Structure 1
């Protein structure tokens, strides 16, 4: 037990004296969170559409339509003329161009008196159909605004209406979704990649060989490494969460104790996998590519930056087999949904299974020296 605590303290001192470790393991996740929060926005909407409006009519109706578009959440209206708007659309500075032709206001004013008249195409919508998502959203937004204007012109009174009931008690923003993913990425990178490179480097430099000459057991050495990294990861996670709270008002709706418990479980799991990689690699140069080969694909299929359900069906079995997706889901469940341990039984069970198997394999395959 004495050797275990000395190893833990020595590892913490090494972390504190290594500036690269502090920068890459602590400041990089914070910088990533601030950058993504700034560029992607921390507001309540994930929808953004730039609309160029060329008002050639200059009537009250055309101004009302332009104003209606500008009131739509996520829509930015740029008033321009038709040639400039078309040029902006082709350059990508605008998503759609709405051209309000002359005579639009007059057509609306006589619509109530002459209900049998044919509609006029006074509103022209220019868009790039090679981008189906923007095209569909733009068509819907403009169509709703025009439809509202038409109904007001003819005094339309609906017989049946739709009532919207919001069942989302905690409105989530983009940054609320990203922070748990960044925490998960930090845990995986610090432990899987960090352990593999560090242990392989120590083995090559002969540090582990000198330890082998002592009564120290491999399980005691691994346990000391794990404890030191658990303490470091917990501190890093708390710092990231505090920055997220004070800068973006990101809340933890669930139990802080459960959140720290999931961070602990994720740290232990990926650290054990890192020890296996360190055992397979003979040198630090070979450890880094092996760790990268394992961790890099997990970034894209682990639900870190976008929901797992958006991945192709072919990748779903892979997602259900790797630990990163379960760690991300559990952190997101506690932070965003206030989930309890009972509700998180599946990710907890999978991570625990990964931990037990990986730790046993790491203990058996651990090598003190290069063979």
Structure 2
């Protein structure tokens, strides 16, 4: 042990690790926050309970409501507001409840703007008219459901004659899409903020000036920070996966060894970028701006919370080249598609090469003060 006590790199790693784990905020944002995101989005997009739509009805003719809505609905009066609840049962696709609220046109527009209504319904001579944003897919779905319901309000869906076969395979749920993205995002944020901001803050507070007075090698100092952050990333990703496995049944369908290889390659890539970014920056305000400039576009474009194929076709090629996209796509392919070593070697090599090049450039440019 005495030999290790005199080892500079060991002492730096020990110091960095103790500084990291004694900060409650670091543990919350690294471990607690991703779990909270997975709970919220997982429950929102994986539940199989009732779907509820809200419709504002604007009409001066009570005959329309009495003919189309009232016979099949339950009328409720609350605070002088009249609503009609129409429930349609379907064991295949889940039950649907339509909430119709009588209102003026002005109130209906306000409700639509606030997200309190999905669609506005009016009538002319007993014919229903639907008003909604044509780019809102939820409103489009509601329109198709309502128009079919008004044509045949008493027709019940016969499950035995239904040709719908719901897909419940693991890997096709939104939570299966989300968890690999959160793991990749955790690596990005932990390294960019845990390394870059840490170094820039110490430089701005003149702490690095004190360190240079000791016989400390720049490479040892940087590798100690990187090593501790990678260890913390392993712990954070492991806890997130354990939670997702216990609560949502997430599994790894591909090669676990390939997952570790890609995981370390992603850590190397963003650690190298973080070192390069912080190699000469002196002010935390400038450093925060640079970190956000790098992380925010990738968080939006790289398909963490939704598919990047929603962006224009001309941008897809560029998006696929982003380091976070490469890492996220690789982790998803292992989790959900059963990817093997051969499919992971090339993206792992690209990420590792990017990280090593950035680290060497950052090491060469690095200044203590």
Pairwise TM-score range, normalised by the shorter structure: 0.7 to 0.9
* SS across alignment from 1:252: coil
Question: 1:287: which partner in 2?
Answer: 287
Do 2:188 and 2:295's aligned partners in 1 also have CA atoms closer than 8 Å? Answer: yes
* SS across alignment from 2:339: coil
Task: Name structure 2 gaps, 5 residues minimum.
Answer: 58-64, 74-85
Output the CA distance in 2 between the equivalents of 1:95 and 1:284.
44
Question: 2:145: which partner in 1?
Answer: 141
Question: 2:97: which partner in 1?
Answer: 77
Task: Name structure 1 gaps, 5 residues minimum.
Answer: 102-120, 153-160
Residue deviations 1:239-289 (CA, integer Å, cap 9, x gap): 111122223332332334433332222122111111111113113332122
Question: TM-score, with normalisation over the residues of structure 1?
Answer: 0.75
| Aligned with 1:95 (options 112, 118, 131) | 118
| Aligned with 1:7 (options 8, 12, 29) | 12
Question: 2:274: which partner in 1?
Answer: 274
Q: Provide closer, same or farther for how the CA distance between residues 217 and 253 of structure 1 changes in structure 2, counting only shifts above 3 A.
A: same
Question: 1:41: which partner in 2?
Answer: 45
How big is the shift at 1:346? Answer: 4.2
Matches within 5 A, 1:12-31: 12-31=17-36
Question: 2:80: which partner in 1?
Answer: none
Deviates more, 1:139-148 or 1:339-348: 139-148
State whether structure 2 residue 241 is matched by structure 1 residue 230.
Answer: no
Do 2:179 and 2:244's aligned partners in 1 also have CA atoms closer than 8 Å? Answer: yes
Do 1:252 and 1:338's aligned partners in 2 also have CA atoms closer than 8 Å? Answer: yes
Question: 2:132: which partner in 1?
Answer: 128
Question: 2:255: which partner in 1?
Answer: 255
Matches within 5 A, 1:188-207: 188-207=188-207
Do 2:255 and 2:341's aligned partners in 1 also have CA atoms closer than 8 Å? Answer: no
Equivalent pairs counted in the alignment come to 336
Do 1:198 and 1:284's aligned partners in 2 also have CA atoms closer than 8 Å? Answer: no
Question: TM-score, with normalisation over the residues of structure 2?
Answer: 0.75
Question: 1:363: which partner in 2?
Answer: 363
Q: Provide closer, same or farther for how the CA distance between residues 55 and 95 of structure 1 changes in structure 2, counting only shifts above 3 A.
A: farther
Q: Rg bigger for which structure?
A: 1
Deviates more, 1:282-291 or 1:90-99: 90-99
CA RMSD in angstroms, aligned pairs only: 3.8
Q: Provide closer, same or farther for how the CA distance between residues 136 and 268 of structure 1 changes in structure 2, counting only shifts above 3 A.
A: same
How big is the shift at 1:80? Answer: 4.9
Deviates more, 1:2-11 or 1:49-58: 49-58
Output the CA distance in 2 between the equivalents of 1:205 and 1:72.
62
State whether structure 2 residue 79 is matched by structure 1 residue 56.
Answer: no
Output the CA distance in 2 between the equivalents of 1:129 and 1:20.
42
